[in-house]
Structure formats: C-alpha cells, structure tokens
Structure 1
Amino acid sequence: MLQKQKRLVSYIVVTLIITFIINIAITWISRSTRQEIDYGTFLTMIQDNQVESVKIEDDRLLITPKENGSDKKVYYTGTLNDPQLVDKLHTAGVKFSTPVKDVQWPIVTFILTWILPFAMFYLLGSFIMKTLGNRIGGTGAMSFGKSNAKVYIEKKTGVTFNDVAGQEEAKESLSEIVDFLHKPSRYTEIGAKLPKGALLVGPPGTGKTLLAKAVAGEANVPFFSLSGSNFVEMFVGVGASRVRDLFQQAEKNAPCIVFIDEIDAIGKSRDSKLGGNDEREQTLNQLLAEMDGFDSSKGVVILAATNRPEILDKALLRPGRFDRRVIVDKPDLKGRQEILKVHGKNVKLDSSVNLREIALATAGAVGADLANMVNEAALRAVRMGRDVVRQDDLFEAVETVIAGKEKKDRIMTEEEKSLVAFHEVGHALAAALQKETQPVHKITIIPRTMGALGYTMQMPEKEKFLISKEELAEQIVVLLAGRAAEEIIFKKATTGASNDIERATQIARQMVTIYGMSDKFGVMGLESIQNRYLDGRPIQTCSTETSAEVDREVLQIINNCYEKALSLLKDNMESLCKISSHLLHKETIMGDEFMDILNSTRV
C-alpha cells in the first residue's frame, strides 16, 4: 500500500510539472509574437497607412500592421490619453475597437489554467502507460512490480490425473501433496509436514506442465501459473518485486499451488566467473528468501518445472525449498500404450487397432510425440475418406513424424533406385542374419520429406532397458551394411550412408568412452553427459593424448563391424539380389514378406 501511495504521489508531481511547463511555454509563445514600440512610431505608421486595425485596451494599444511578407507580429504601445486618437484612426481608415469587459472569476481562471490541463494530462498519461504496460506484459503504470500470474481453478484447467498417463511414479509423488491439501490432519497428527516445493524434471514434451495442471484439478485449490521469464524485466528490482507480490497473493489464497514453468530462466547458478545479471540474481535471491519465509502449514505448495536441472543454483535445490525432485522421464512401453489410449479416446478408432504395436514402434517417443501421431493418423483417415482410424493410419503417422511425408514427386534414375534398394536390403539382411537385433518391420525406397531416399524400419518384440556389448556391435553392423551392399554390388560408395556412418560412429564412441566396453581402456570413463534431458551432448574428461587413442579405438571397432557386414552380405548374395529386385518392383515390402523371400532363398 505504501509503495502504491509513493507511486501515485510521484505521478501527480510529474503531471503538475508538465502542466506548469506547458503554461510557461504558452505564455512565452504568446509574448514572442508581440513587439513593443513607442507612441511616435505608432503615429508615423498611421500616417504612412501601415496599420490595419487597433484594439484599444485600458493600459495599451494592440496594433495589427498590414500584411508585410512573412512578418506576422503584433505591436503594442501605451495609450497616453490622446483625445484625438479616435479621429486620427477614423481619418486614416483604420479599424479600431474596445474589448467588452467581462466579469473575471479567479476560480474559473484557475480551473481553466491549471485544473483542466492537469486532469487532461493525468488521464492521457494513464491511458498511454496502461496501453504501453499491457504491450510489454505489465498491467499499467502503477504495476511494474505486480505479478503476472494467471489464476486457474479446477473448472478452467479441466485436467485431472486421469488425463495423465505413462507417469505413474510422478503422479504418486504429487498425489501425496493433493491428499495433504485435502486432509491435512492425517499428516499433522503423526508430525509430517507438507513439502514446500516439488521440482518437475524431464525432457521436453513429457508432460510436466500437464502434471502441474492435473495437481490443481485434483486439489481443487487456486492455481497460480507463470513462467520464469515473467519475472525478468529490463528494470532492476522489478523481478524481485513481482516475486514478493506473487507470494503475498499466494498466502492470501492459501491453500493454493504456485507453478513456475522453466524456472531455469531465473534459477541459474550464481557463478561469478561468468559474470552476473543483477536483475536475475536479485530475483533469485528474493525467491530463495520467500521460500524460506512462508509457512507451509498454510497449504502453499510451490511446483516448478525444468529440463536443465544441472544449471540450477544449489541453494534453490536444497531441502526446505524444493524438498522433492519428481522425475518426468520418457515413458516406457506400458506408459506409451496408456498415453495412446488417453489420446485415442478423442478419436474414432477401428476395432482392429492394436495400440501395443504402435507403442513398440515408438520407442523413445514422449507424450507430445504420441499425441501428434494420433492426430496425424486421424487427419490421414479423413484424407482417405474414412470415418475411423485404422492401424495403417497409425503406422503411417509414426513414419510421418519420424521421417516426414512421402515425397512421391521426387523422380530418381533407375540406377539411383537400384542403389537405394540394395542399400536398404543390406540393412534388413544384416538385421535378419544376426541374433541380437530387432526384427524388420518394413522396407521402402519411397523418398521422405526429411531427406531419406528410403529406410528400413525395425520394431522390437519387447522393450529392453539394458543393452549388451554384443547387441551394440550388431547395431553397428546393421548400420554399416547399407554401405557394404553398395560396395559389393556397385563397387562404389555414395553419400546415402552419411547418417548411418554418423550413428555408427556415435555408438562406437559411447562404447569406448561411456559404457566401458573397450579392450584398451577397460571400465574407464572418458566422457560425461551434459544437458541429459535436452541434447545429451557428451563432454570429454580426458587429455588430448587419450582422445587420440580413443579415436583409434573407435576406428578399430567400426572397421571390424564393417568387415562383418561385408562377410554377411557376400555369404547371402542370392538373397540380397532377389529381395532387392522384389523391392524395386513393389517399392515397399513388409517384414513378413521380406522374411518369406529370405527363407525361400536359404533352403
């Protein structure tokens, strides 16, 4: 309240100063257009017929000269009580008049001179500042320190835990908070305290914001939702003021939930080595102080979400501030199937649809990806003139999200088509002829919009969480078998294997530097993962000399796998040629058809 009064007083003072300056400016401008002359000069101007009109006032004469180029000045002089003045003016043909005296009311003059201009400038300034404040994210001239939090109640979120699938552990952790808000006596009787805060951590698209809204929907309490970037402004101190205002609102509406999305925008580690941002650090300090100061027994819970927990300040993560870290990771097979069921309720699915197969084909996909795939399948069904979504719509949607749409207008030469066919069949044969690889689901040589001229799709029979050294080596063999087929049949290498080589090199490097699967380095870790929930980029933790040795070891693994791929394909040349010829004719073959041809050639 005191801050509001100070702002109001400041605004009134500024408006008064502007009004005073405007009055002075008007007076100066009006005076600058008038020039004083002596009475003799005035009489000379009458004689020379240079005067157009004269206004006779009590203390002076206002003389308007005849037009003389750009000179627009008005002259004035004293009256001198000249009794012959009227006759002289009449004789010279000069217009003259005396202003009618009105009754002067000082209060009216004061209102017109001061009050009216002040009110006009005050209203105009308020309108401009309010408009400008709304455009920059504020709420007017008096609210730079106001929180921008949007308040959601259960009716507006429309989300409960039933709408969130594939995150059972996260839901269990958050359901305790909901239960505490509903029945606090159950916990206080035994001495338990409500966690002050919970940090939702996970990759983008896994449903962190959806979970926070579900908590609000389940708890049926006020839900303050805002992003970390809402606190950061160009004015130093505004962010800290908004944090204070947010917690004041939260305490007034307790019990309630405060959700701060992308908290890393204000919660970055305060590292003086890299230089600081005064506004962000003040905001973070205020957030730390507020989280220490508020009473959790009132039922105020802070939820925050980030996908970069490694850069958050340690003081923000300690118990007493964010007591609980809730991992919202990529869903497993069962989780993906449940997510598909949730999104499948909103579309008409054919009775033959098997969501488990789709879940198997989408390993590594997050909830947002799966929702997009279901929507793409529904769009395809409408495009094909059907009123239900079939299994082939869903599989095509998976391929569209992963590799892009089919690019049927791209015309390849017969040689290029033949080369792509042998390349893709090389991948498929290497997968089918090894023990620890995933079965082939589909082979196609139809180009896709994301750059692939063809691809081989494998689909696991079950989900695995651990991969052995032998399985990784066989994956590299499958990736390099496309290039091997090119060299065996066409005796040349093309650019088509660039992505395969990149992925094979990445797996081989991880085997050496992260997984401890190298004969030379043993179980020594040579790289560590940074930004685990974003790009997962590795950072070297070894010397440059060791790095050179790592490169040689990686090259050795790749060369060994490539030799194995060449050997597999040379031993099965008949199958390679027959399947490639069939693929050239049909352009797309499914896994069962591929295995039938392979088995017939090996009998």
Structure 2
Amino acid sequence: MKKPRLLQGRRGLALSILALLILAALAFWLARAASPEQTPTAGAAAMLAELQDSREPWEANRGDLSRLMSDLRSDAIASAALGADAIYISTTDAQRYWVPDQSGRVATLLLEQYAGGKALFPLAMFQTDADKPLYQRLLPYSPIALLLIGAALFFAMKTRSFAVQRKGSGITFADVIGASEAKQALSDVTAYLRDPAAYARLGARPPKGVLLTGEPGTGKTQLAKALASESNASFIQVTGSDFSSMYFGVGIQKVKALFRTARKQAPCIIFIDEIDGIGKRAEQQRSSDAESNRIINQFLAEMDGFDGASGVLVLGATNFPNSLDPALVREGRFDRSIAVGLPGLDDREALFRLYAGKISAATDLDFAQLARNTVGLTPAAIAYIVNHAALLAARAGARQVDMHHFVDAVETCRIGEQPSGVTPMSPADRKRIAVHEAGHALVAAELKVGRVEKVTILPRGQALGVTLVTPVEDKRLHMESELRSRIQMLLAGRCAEQLYFREVSSGAGQDLQEASKIALSMVGALGMGPKGSLLSLQAVRDAHIEFDSGDSIRAADQLLQQLDRDCLALLQRLRPALDEIAERLLAEETVPGEEVLAAIARLPAPHDASVSSILGHALSSVERVAASALDAPDSFELAPVVAVEPEDDGPRML
C-alpha cells in the first residue's frame, strides 16, 4: 500500500515523531491525574469521595457567613472542604451546606483558626488550582492551541515541496513533431543545463528564463518536457494559478518553496504553464491586489537571487505574453522569448502518421491529403481528429478506421458535429439557406479565397447550412486584396438573399460579426481604411490617450458598405451559376466544390476586370461561413454609428 504523500520522506518522519510526543504527553497527564495528590484524614476523605460523586447535597442548601461562624463557635462542624470559589460544610447532625467564597476571605478565616494550633475539624482541599492536573489547567486554552496546530498543519500542507521528476519526462525532441524553430532555439539551453560550469569558466551568463509563446495546442508543454529529457535535468511542473491562495502569505511561501526545491535538485527546469496567471502588478486598491503584488515581487526576487551557474532554468508558457508584468520579462530574468508556431504541411503529415499508428487505422490512408485539408490546425486539433475518426468508426461498427472516417472527423473539427433529430425546415427556409450558402461558395471560388471543399444545407453545429472553405497554403502575411476578398465572401450570403428575396435574415449575423472584426482591424491597426488613416488604435490605447472611436467605427462601416456593393455586383454577374448551385442544393442538399468551379466555368460572358483585379490567395486561417440560427437576435447591443450616405446606391434588387 502506498503511503500518503504527506507521510513520505523527512516530513513524514517529523510528523510521526510529533504525533508520538503528543501521545506520550497525554498519557503522562492522564497518569498524573489518576495518582492521588494528597492523603486527607478519614473524615475528609469520605467527604471528598462524596463530593467527587455529587455536590448536590451541599449545593441544595446555601449558607451564609453567620451560620458558618455559629457552627464554628459551637463546634458543630464535622468536616469541611475548601474549593476554588466555595466552602463545603458537613455538620455533626448530618446537615450539609455550602458558603460562596469568590474572594477567598472565608477560607482565610478558617485557616486562621488552624493557625492557633487547635484542630477544630478535618479540613481538606477540593478542586483548587493546586489540585488540578496539568491538562485540566491547560484545558481552557485548548481551543486556541488546537487552532494554532491546525493552522500550522494546513500551512505546512499548502507550502509542501513540489513534485520533482528526477529522471526526465520520458519525452525527447524527436517525439515533438514540428516546432523546429523552437527546438533550434532551445539547443544552447540544453548545452547549458548539461554543463553549467563550462559557461561559468568562460564568464558567460546563461539564460535564467525562457518564455514560450504561441496559440493553444501548439505543443509548448511537450517542448518543456522534451527539454528536461534532452538536458538530463530534473523537472518541476506548476501553473501560474498554483501561487494564488485565499490566505495571505501562502502564495509567497509557495514561491520560496518552489525555488528552494529547484536549487536542491539542480540541474533543474521549473516549468510554469499559463504563467500569465501570475498577472501584473497593480495599484493596491484592494487587499487581493496587495497580495498579488507581493507574490510577483517575491518571484522577481527569487529569479534575481540564484546564480547563473546554479543549473536552474525557469521555463514559462503562455498564450497571452502581453498579460505578463514588464519587470518579469525583462532581460536578466526571461532572457529569451521563443514563438511556437503552427505545424507546416510535412509536420501535419507526420502528426497524422504518429497518431494513426496508435489506433487500428487502414493501410491505404492518404496522409498527404489529410495534411493539405488541415491547414492552420494545431497538433492538439490533429490529435482530436484522429481520435474522433476512431470514435466514428466504433460508432459505425467498423473493424478499422478508414479514410472516410478521417474526412468526416476533419469536417467535424472544421464546421461542427452534425446534429441528429433536427426539426425539418419549411420549403421557404430551405430555399433561403440554399441561396445563402450558394452565394458564399461562388464568391469564395471566384475570388480564390481558398479551396471550396463542399457546400451543404444540412445543419452542422449551430449553423443551418455550411460552406467549407480551406486555405491552400500556409501564410503569415496577408495582402489588403486578400482581406477584402475574405470580407466579400462573408457578405456573399447576405447579398445573395438581397438579390433573390429583397430582404435579409438573421442567418447572416455570424458572418457580419466576422466581417466587422476584419474591417475594424484593417481600419484601426493595419492602415487599410478607405480614408487612408495610418494611426493604430492599439498604440493610442497603450499611450493611455483618450480618443473617440466613432471615426474608426464609421470608417469600418464605410468599408463594409463599399465591399457589400462590390459583392452584390459580383453576384449579379454570377447569377446563372447562383441559380444552378441553389437548385442543386435543394435537390441533393450537398454539392462538392468541384461542381461550384464547373458552374463558374460554364458562364458565357467574361468577367469584368474590376472584379478580377481583387483576386487574392487563400488566408492561413480556417474559413467557416455558415447561416447561423440566432434564437434571440435582439440580444446584441451595437454601438451607435452615424450613417454615411454612399455615393452610389449600387445595382437595384432583382
């Protein structure tokens, strides 16, 4: 049976010894309490025995000082017992009573009678402080002692040493597919951890901290574990929220315990996942702010306190590097920031091969095609796709996971799960959704926003219909024409509804939200607005300058209206293809992307040069355009925007 973690190591030995000492002291007190403290006379002993059993015979009759003095003068007292705050009297005629003595003067009077040398009657001491056992004298203070002991034990448990993996994590750089740039940047860190004395001999100061940044699921945690194995160093993994506590001072003690443990286990890597949970220092307007500031200050002091050749490296990972305190990421603390990017085409193919080898997959899988269809996905998303493909195969009762299971899993990751038991839609709604999705697909294909995989009017996730458009290449740099084409693709569903039905529906709500984000980014951050403004709103916010965002909102709205008119004009030119794809969707519910391209190729008239001039390449992010089912469209609160009268009303609705 495995011992509890609290009883392991030297801490468990110390707690065991403390428990034995407490038990021994308790046994001593009980034995001392059981031993006789005095040897009273026979009469006094009999009275004490009766008092131990019950004091009711005496407490039933309360006497006063005059009665006591009368009994003293007449020698009517058979025996007496002095208590802590009362005197108990037994008379010669078998009467019993008690006299209160909070001040102790009555007891003094009786003792003066004995001082004269004459024993008037047997006198004993009963329940005085001197007669009480030690544990009874300490009993009133037991709640405070128990509270202090409990607080000490709780504090010790909260600040216990962190778990250390002394033989690496079992993961090497070869097990981490992709992130070649990050692995190359960590190579000199590996050399330092293997031989820190070599750096010290040359006078070189090795890095104290390395910050890994990147999107969620790109493999930052795996890189940290692989670095520990490659460096043959101990590994301590914590999170930024581990230092938070509702009790003051506990977080600071955790920071001290973390670095103390790392120094003992050097060479050692401290990996702090989600390090942005530590936060930033702020003005101490609340008590929680003061505690958070002290935790960050202690962390900074610890990083400055250990020697560069001590063999301790702090490795942090975050998705929000801007949320860290500037003093934490300065040179001398986190000396290096490494960006972990998305996997490329070859890396995605290798990831599919790796995860497919862990399931009962078919031997004829086209991993190259799967890699091409998953542009922009993280390693975590690819692992989910492989696992979901296995779940689909098990649900269908298949003996192995085939290619179509992987294709369905990719679509599920892109556009959501296909719901079951959906209420059938009316013919009018089906026609509107078909026109909406056909507009998305045709504009995406005509402007070459990406590769149109399929278009369907079957519900997927929260969408009533979906057009699946995937990028054709990995890109990090996007031209203004590409962003404009993407906005037109997002507006195409709404424009198609205007073209056919002369009014729009709530299905374009999500499309307008995505288009507005791009337009606001173009106007406020990229200098691509219609008025040619180059001012970045993020720089204004960072400078803490008050500004009115109304002009930027109006410029973004003007850009959206301009692109909406261009999109409507493009759909008018593509009207025959729009009719054909909409009819095919109503008849078959799903149309492949190849048929969308074929419908555009069959158009008789050449396209206008003004439309072809805005052709662009695919974006590197996943494109998802869908007719969303909004249950409560009135729940959105938009900022007031002053309407701008367009110069041209555009083509009329047909």
- TM-score relative to the length of structure 1: 0.74
Q: CA deviation at 1:275?
A: 8.5
For the residues of structure 2 that align with 1:456 and 1:529, how far apart are their CA atoms?
36
Amino acid at match of 1:432: A
Q: 2:101 corresponds to which residue? A: none
Equivalent position SS for 1:260: strand
For the residues of structure 2 that align with 1:444 and 1:226, how far apart are their CA atoms?
45
CA contact (8 A) 1:376 1:397 kept: yes
Q: 1:277 corresponds to which residue? A: 289
For the residues of structure 2 that align with 1:246 and 1:265, how far apart are their CA atoms?
16
Q: CA deviation at 1:586?
A: 1.6
| Residue 446 (1) aligns with residue 448 (2) | no
What is the 5 A alignment of 1:21-60? 34-37=59-62, 59=80
For the residues of structure 2 that align with 1:538 and 1:337, how far apart are their CA atoms?
41
CA contact (8 A) 1:270 1:276 kept: no
For the residues of structure 2 that align with 1:548 and 1:395, how far apart are their CA atoms?
45
The one-character-per-residue Cα deviations of 1:252-280 (angstroms, maximum 9, x if unpaired) are 22111112223333341344689972222
Q: 1:234 corresponds to which residue? A: 246
For the residues of structure 2 that align with 1:181 and 1:264, how far apart are their CA atoms?
25
CA contact (8 A) 1:201 1:307 kept: yes
Q: CA deviation at 1:124?
A: 7.8
Q: CA deviation at 1:110?
A: 4.4
What is the 5 A alignment of 1:10-21? none
| Residue 143 (1) aligns with residue 146 (2) | no
For the residues of structure 1 that align with 2:362 and 2:412, how far apart are their CA atoms?
20
Q: 2:570 corresponds to which residue? A: 568
Q: CA deviation at 1:397?
A: 1.8
Q: 1:495 corresponds to which residue? A: 506
Q: 1:481 corresponds to which residue? A: 492
Q: 1:526 corresponds to which residue? A: 536
The one-character-per-residue Cα deviations of 1:504-537 (angstroms, maximum 9, x if unpaired) are 2222222222222234224x1332289xxxxxx9
CA contact (8 A) 1:150 1:226 kept: no
Match of 1:197 among 209, 231, 242: 209
| Residue 299 (1) aligns with residue 286 (2) | no
For the residues of structure 2 that align with 1:284 and 1:125, how far apart are their CA atoms?
30
Q: 2:233 corresponds to which residue? A: 221
The one-character-per-residue Cα deviations of 1:253-311 (angstroms, maximum 9, x if unpaired) are 21111122233333413446899722222222222222111122121111122233223
Q: CA deviation at 1:540?
A: 10
Q: 1:101 corresponds to which residue? A: none
Q: CA deviation at 1:185?
A: 5.5
Amino acid at match of 1:553: A
For the residues of structure 1 that align with 2:482 and 2:544, how far apart are their CA atoms?
25
Q: 1:371 corresponds to which residue? A: 383
Q: 1:351 corresponds to which residue? A: 363
Amino acid at match of 2:213: V
Q: CA deviation at 1:149?
A: 2.0
For the residues of structure 2 that align with 1:262 and 1:515, how far apart are their CA atoms?
29
Amino acid at match of 2:260: Q
Q: 2:430 corresponds to which residue? A: 417
Q: CA deviation at 1:444?
A: 0.9
Q: CA deviation at 1:417?
A: 0.9
| Residue 389 (1) aligns with residue 401 (2) | yes
What is the number of residues matched between the two proteins? 520
Q: 1:585 corresponds to which residue? A: 587
Q: CA deviation at 1:29?
A: 13
For the residues of structure 2 that align with 1:280 and 1:218, how far apart are their CA atoms?
34
Structure 1, unaligned runs of 5 or more: 43-55, 62-74, 86-106, 134-138, 531-536
For the residues of structure 2 that align with 1:334 and 1:223, how far apart are their CA atoms?
30
- TM-score relative to the length of structure 2: 0.69
For the residues of structure 2 that align with 1:461 and 1:430, how far apart are their CA atoms?
16
CA contact (8 A) 2:200 2:309 kept: no
For the residues of structure 1 that align with 2:492 and 2:542, how far apart are their CA atoms?
27
For the residues of structure 1 that align with 2:264 and 2:363, how far apart are their CA atoms?
52
Structure 2, unaligned runs of 5 or more: 1-9, 34-50, 68-76, 96-129, 606-654
The one-character-per-residue Cα deviations of 1:142-191 (angstroms, maximum 9, x if unpaired) are 61672452222346x33222232221222222232222222445545544
Equivalent position SS for 2:153: coil
1:525 to 1:363, Cα distance in 2 relative to 1, 3 A = farther
Q: 1:266 corresponds to which residue? A: 278
Q: 2:103 corresponds to which residue? A: none
For the residues of structure 1 that align with 2:418 and 2:53, how far apart are their CA atoms?
74
For the residues of structure 1 that align with 2:602 and 2:374, how far apart are their CA atoms?
31
Q: CA deviation at 1:380?
A: 0.9
Equivalent position SS for 1:442: strand
Q: CA deviation at 1:452?
A: 0.6
CA contact (8 A) 1:270 1:313 kept: no
For the residues of structure 2 that align with 1:443 and 1:540, how far apart are their CA atoms?
46
What is the 5 A alignment of 1:324-339? 324-339=336-351
For the residues of structure 1 that align with 2:412 and 2:551, how far apart are their CA atoms?
41
The one-character-per-residue Cα deviations of 1:444-463 (angstroms, maximum 9, x if unpaired) are 111122x2111111123222
Q: 1:467 corresponds to which residue? A: 478
Q: CA deviation at 1:552?
A: 3.6
Q: CA deviation at 1:558?
A: 2.2
| Residue 514 (1) aligns with residue 525 (2) | yes
1:417 to 1:256, Cα distance in 2 relative to 1, 3 A = same
What is the 5 A alignment of 1:53-132? 59=80, 78-81=89-92, 110=133, 129=150
For the residues of structure 1 that align with 2:331 and 2:259, how far apart are their CA atoms?
19
| Residue 243 (1) aligns with residue 255 (2) | yes
Equivalent position SS for 1:454: strand
Amino acid at match of 1:511: M
CA contact (8 A) 1:528 1:541 kept: no
When the two chains are superposed, the root-mean-square deviation of aligned CA atoms in Å is 4.4
CA contact (8 A) 1:406 1:448 kept: yes
Q: CA deviation at 1:477?
A: 1.9
CA contact (8 A) 2:524 2:552 kept: yes
Q: CA deviation at 1:390?
A: 2.8
Q: CA deviation at 1:405?
A: 1.2
The one-character-per-residue Cα deviations of 1:37-61 (angstroms, maximum 9, x if unpaired) are 469xx9xxxxxxxxxxxxx996479
Amino acid at match of 2:159: K
CA contact (8 A) 1:444 1:454 kept: yes
1:481 to 1:389, Cα distance in 2 relative to 1, 3 A = same
Amino acid at match of 2:481: E
Equivalent position SS for 2:464: coil
Q: 1:533 corresponds to which residue? A: none
